[in-house]
Structure 1
Amino acid sequence: MGGVRKLLMACVLLVAPGALAASVLDSSLRLTAEERYDDDLRLAEGGEGQFMTKLTPRLGLELKDPRSTGEGFYAADLLMRHGSGKATLDHRGGLDLRHTLTRRLRLDFTGRIFRVTDPTSLPRDGLARSLEPIVYGKARLGLSGRVTQRLDVRATYAFEGAKVYEEGREPGFVHTPTLEAWYRSTRRLTLGLEYRYQGFLFGDSFSDAHGAFAGLRYRLTRPTTLTLRGGPVLYRPEPGKVEVLPRIAVELAREGELFDVGFTLGHDLVGASGFTNTLWADYASLVLARRFNARWSVYGGGSFFRNGRAPGEGAFSLKNTEFVSQGYAVGGGIEYRLNRYLTLQGAVDRIAQVGADEEAAGVDDLARNVAAVRLMLSAW
């Protein structure tokens, strides 16, 4: 392993020795070995679940210098089914960079790309409407500046894309530039304004939207912050036609020494599903994590989504229609850290997604139950 690590370091240093002269580079290698029972429709043979082994090597590289920090990684998920003997290989990669330009100006970038046979493993709900593999990616480039002691501004460009490997499916993309300003009126209260443009592309179909929103960020306690956003979205499905729908977003985040909470709730306009151009979306999620000491911790969470044809067909009806898809996921686990190199996990998950008939290639119920035991090894 030491030879591989030295080789990686040498390759990076050869790329740009001048630029990296004052930088510190550190590589990492982690391996996760998992034994699970999974009754997913896509993975089962004859409608029955199987025991499976999953191996995930993850190779990372971290950059640090006085003005910049960054991390890139690549991970492969090899899933081997004991019953059928079949195997699948999924790929994940990511890059995070933060660079301080001046005392008041900061540049940051984050990106993720996935090529998976299991869309329920993606960080976005609502993409599991097919039995075929999918490529999904998202990236965000942001420039933040402090105008005064109380006023911060931020310009962002975000990209999202999805491609389902199914005959006749076109790739879908969303381009989203935004401009926002936040004013700290008190030590706890910050008020904001935001403008957002969305350009949706699916094959030859294009639509776009303009949104203007007000925001409020309030620090409830030192580790807990509540953020509210809301306003109108002007959606143009085609030239000369404008529809209006609301955007509502609620976020509650707590990051403490022993207890973390993350909660989101909202209604918005989204794209890049791989099945159609633009969708309305309802979403909600809750994540909890509790650390008892340096070794023991537990975690749990759940999420729910509904989406359908934009701007709002079926959005405010609780009845299912052929144009509305919905689903949920719940799960939890326990973690025990043996030492700095070894960690044990046990987890259970329930995932259920119901696809819209016209968009889901005849797959109207993708449900699964997973029980897993994992051993995570940090090689260096």
Structure 2
Amino acid sequence: MMGGIRKLLMACVLCTSSAALADQVLDSSLRLVAEGRYDDDLRVANEGGGPLVSKLSPRLGLELKDPTSKGEVFYAADFLMRQGIAGATLDHRAGLDLNHALSRRLQLEFTSRFFRVTDPTSLPREGVARTLAPTLYGQARLSATARATQRWDVRASYNIEGARVFEATGTRQGFVHSPSVEGWYRSTRRLSLGVEYRYQGFYTQEDFSQAHGAFAGLRYRLTRVTNASVRAGPIRYVSPQGEVGWLPRAVVAVDRDGELFDMGISLGHDLVGASGFENALWADFASVALARRINHQFSVNAVASYFRNGRAPNEDAFRLSGSPYLSQGYAVELGAEYRINRYLALQGTVNRIAQVGVEDEVGGVDLARNVLAVRLVISAW
């Protein structure tokens, strides 16, 4: 009798394990991008480089899906060959995303991105590119979201961001550690109201400063596929010398994720760091991203962004130019993609980039550049 029960239990375990493995999907992907580019960057020309650039970018990815988890990890290398400059440069990109549901009420999320680039204007963080020095940049976020009650959601997060700039005169670096906790109350099916506390610790070389912020938030569903959010509140900043200052934080965002048309708009003023040049910076920023799918083969997109950075808490915040502590810039991109089949796609982009550093701004140097690129994207599997 006992032997029969043991056999039955073993069979159940084997069936359960087989079902779990059957529900787990692990997919790999390999993509190769071949790019030809015209780039009239004045700083490259001053070093003897020409405007023509060839770029080859293999990308290897691995995706995991099961009933409680979803994740992806990837690594990409960028080989760049510039006209007039011997040899090739090698850039690196990597990322990891993971979403895991511990229960119906508790969910964990982790996301990270890492870059080692020779052209800092390619980074997602604007304002780092004050020189053409190689730059190491990374950002990571770990968060836990719990449904406390039927209407209340609570989230605890930890963010870290860092930049290291390898200049000829030495290495410059900056880091920001930022834990936060927030609560959101679903007032109606469309409206949620929230409160947030955020701490920021800024490290640059031997300096350390910190900030405490308390914010109120609002989220509203405009349509089935369009959402809007607002966050605002005061920030108390303590400088490396112990001086206390105040500045406001205000961020407005609108996003749309539709079948044929996507849109993202953000506008705000905040306290940031990890630029590698200053301990902490106030930042004005604005961006618009649009994507339109014409049919299953052809799509177009447009992106525009602008930023201004200055010393925290408010130094030269109301000056437009001429400050030794002010940097600003913008970027505009128009692009199109034609998908030949599931394995091949053609892309074309036109960019204008102007990220002006402190020394260039004071000297009145215009370092705007134009970039025209054509790419062949090969999805091997």
1:86 positional shift: 3.7
What does residue 183 of structure 1 align with? 185
Q: Is 1:157 the counterpart of 2:172 in the alignment?
A: no
Q: How does 1:1-380 map to 2 (within 5 A)?
A: 23-44=24-45, 49-166=50-167, 167-238=169-240, 240-357=242-359, 365-380=366-381
3-state SS of 1:148 partner: coil
- Residues 235-261 of structure 1: CA deviation (Å, up to 9, x unaligned): 010465311100010001011100011
- Residues 163-215 of structure 1: CA deviation (Å, up to 9, x unaligned): 00013333210000010011111111110100000000111100000000000
Distance in 2 (CA, whole Å) between partners of 1:146 and 1:220 is 23
1:52 positional shift: 1.6
Question: Given the superposition, is the C-alpha separation of residues 352 and 129 from structure 1 closer, same or farther in structure 2, using an over 3 Å criterion?
Answer: same
3-state SS of 2:121 partner: helix
Distance in 2 (CA, whole Å) between partners of 1:131 and 1:256 is 38
Q: Bigger shift: 259-268 or 46-55?
A: 46-55
1:50 positional shift: 1.9
1:316 positional shift: 1.9
Distance in 1 (CA, whole Å) between partners of 2:28 and 2:175 is 33
In structure 2, list runs of 5 or more residues that go unmatched.
Answer: 1-19
Asked if the contact 2:49–2:85 (Cα under 8 Å) also holds between the matched residues in 1, the reply is: no
Distance in 1 (CA, whole Å) between partners of 2:324 and 2:198 is 30
Distance in 2 (CA, whole Å) between partners of 1:71 and 1:284 is 29
TM-score (norm: length of structure 1): 0.91
3-state SS of 1:171 partner: strand
- One-letter amino acid of the structure 2 residue matched with residue 66 of structure 1: P
Question: Given the superposition, is the C-alpha separation of residues 359 and 327 from structure 1 closer, same or farther in structure 2, using an over 3 Å criterion?
Answer: closer
Equivalent residues, number: 362
How much identity, in percent, do the aligned residues show? 64
- Residues 88-113 of structure 1: CA deviation (Å, up to 9, x unaligned): 11000000001100000000100000
- Residues 240-294 of structure 1: CA deviation (Å, up to 9, x unaligned): 5311100010001011100011011010100000111111100000000000111
The higher radius of gyration belongs to: 2
Distance in 1 (CA, whole Å) between partners of 2:338 and 2:214 is 46
3-state SS of 2:229 partner: strand
- Residues 104-153 of structure 1: CA deviation (Å, up to 9, x unaligned): 00001000000000000000100111121000000000000111221111
3-state SS of 1:44 partner: helix
3-state SS of 1:170 partner: strand
TM-score (norm: length of structure 2): 0.91
RMSD (Å), alpha carbons: 2.1
Q: Bigger shift: 311-320 or 173-182?
A: 311-320
1:339 positional shift: 0.6
- One-letter amino acid of the structure 1 residue matched with residue 323 of structure 2: T
Asked if the contact 2:49–2:82 (Cα under 8 Å) also holds between the matched residues in 1, the reply is: no
Distance in 2 (CA, whole Å) between partners of 1:27 and 1:371 is 31
